[in-house]
């Protein structure tokens, strides 16, 4: 790797149950292959402190990879940041990701959720190199041995080298020394570069099958959300009517005005109840999953 630029630091921060050894793997890989000076932010960012914007809008346990990376980066020193998390992440229609690098941005992320135990250390190191490189402006590489090749499965990830190819090494050095990677703002053109992963280690799935699976899963989550809110609405309505009749003797059929007021109040309260119940269920499920893993 070329000349290391003084004071060009990369902060590596953990979200969730990430061991110190995992962070050190990322530090060593970046230090060896990318002309930045990595350092570990020793604060532990817990999942219960993640804002709603980074959480899934459906009933899944996934986090939005871009929003999560940007949030943690904003909580560090404001420089370039690599987020390492054990949480499952998605972005847009890609429901299963190794991580993302926001091109010409300040944030990148790698998730260990789907890396498994076999070759775990090697996979973390390769992802650290690739996601930080994408953040610096690199694009997908056609070289089948380069870590900047698109990885659609852990099998593909295992097949690439940790060290960038000669062409990508040159681009990395030029990105740092030219200042092209120091843009603070993210325009519409500075989109995330992603690494997706299929559900098995047997290589990429058929694209049409994968798209249909995601569509069906999204539809199922939508109707589960509708059903959950519907139940919360009905229960809240019954409780509210009972309280009103008990306290002030008001019947819902007394007037149209009273009916609409009760419906509006019920809708608002039911939404709060539904969101809180869903958050509790998601929190308990994560605790169970993490204890099993």
In this predicted structure, what is the pLDDT of residue 215? 55
- For 64-123, how does the pLDDT look when each residue is reduced to its tens digit (9 = 90+)? 888 888 888 888 876 789 999 998 888 776 666 888 888 778 899 999 998 988 899 999
Cα–Cα dist 268/49, whole Å: 24
Please name each of the domains of the chain with its CATH number: 9-196 (3.40.390.10), 207-292 (no CATH)
- For 173-189, how does the pLDDT look when each residue is reduced to its tens digit (9 = 90+)? 888 776 555 444 343 34
Contact 180, 8 (CB under 8 A): no
- Residue 244: partners with Cβ closer than 8 Å, 6 or more residues away: 250, 252, 262
Phi and psi dihedrals of 23, rounded to 5?
-65, -40
In this predicted structure, what is the pLDDT of residue 293? 45
Tokens 């959720």, located at residue: 113
Give the burial class of 208: count Cβ atoms within 10 A of its Cβ; 0-12 exposed, 13-18 middle, 19 or more buried: exposed
Q: Which of 81, 122, 75 is nearest to 100 (CA)?
A: 81
pLDDT(23) > 80? yes
Cα–Cα dist 276/22, whole Å: 33
Residue 282 or 268, more confident: 268
pTM for the complete prediction? Answer: 0.62
Specify which residues 39 forms β-bridges with: 11
**Distances in whole angstroms, Cα of residue 171 to Cα of each of 1, 5, 137, 181:** 11, 15, 9, 11
What mean pLDDT value characterizes the chain? Answer: 77
In this predicted structure, what is the pLDDT of residue 210? 42
């Amino acid at each position: 790797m070329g000349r290391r630029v003084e004071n060009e630091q990369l902060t590596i921060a953990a979200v969730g149950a990430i061991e110190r050894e995992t962070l050190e793997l990322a530090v060593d890989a970046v230090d060896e292959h990318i002309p930045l000076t990595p350092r570990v932010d020793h604060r532990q960012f817990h999942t219960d402190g993640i804002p709603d914007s980074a959480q899934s809008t459906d009933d899944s346990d996934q986090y939005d990879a871009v929003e999560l990376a940007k949030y943690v980066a904003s909580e560090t020193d404001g420089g370039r940041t690599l987020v390492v998390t054990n949480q499952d992440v998605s972005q847009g229609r890609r429901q299963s990701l190794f991580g993302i690098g926001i091109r010409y941005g300040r944030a990148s992320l790698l998730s260990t959720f789907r890396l498994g135990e076999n070759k775990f250390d090697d996979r973390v190191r390769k992802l650290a190199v690739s996601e930080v490189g994408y953040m610096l402006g690199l694009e997908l590489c056609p070289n089948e041995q380069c870590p900047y090749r698109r990885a659609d499965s852990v099998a593909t990830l295992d097949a690439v080298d940790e060290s960038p190819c000669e062409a990508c090494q040159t681009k990395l050095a030029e990105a740092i020394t030219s200042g092209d990677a120091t843009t603070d703002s993210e325009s519409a053109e500075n989109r995330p570069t992603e690494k997706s992963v299929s559900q098995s280690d047997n290589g990429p799935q058929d694209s049409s099958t994968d798209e249909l699976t995601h569509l069906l899963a999204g539809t199922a989550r939508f109707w589960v959300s509708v059903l959950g809110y519907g139940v919360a609405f009905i229960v809240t309505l019954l409780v509210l009517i009972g309280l009103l009749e008990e306290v002030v003797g008001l019947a819902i059929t007394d007037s149209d005005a009273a009916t609409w007021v009760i419906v509006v109040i019920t809708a608002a309260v039911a939404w709060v109840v539904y969101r809180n119940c869903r958050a509790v269920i998601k929190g308990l499920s994560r605790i169970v999953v993490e204890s099993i893993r």
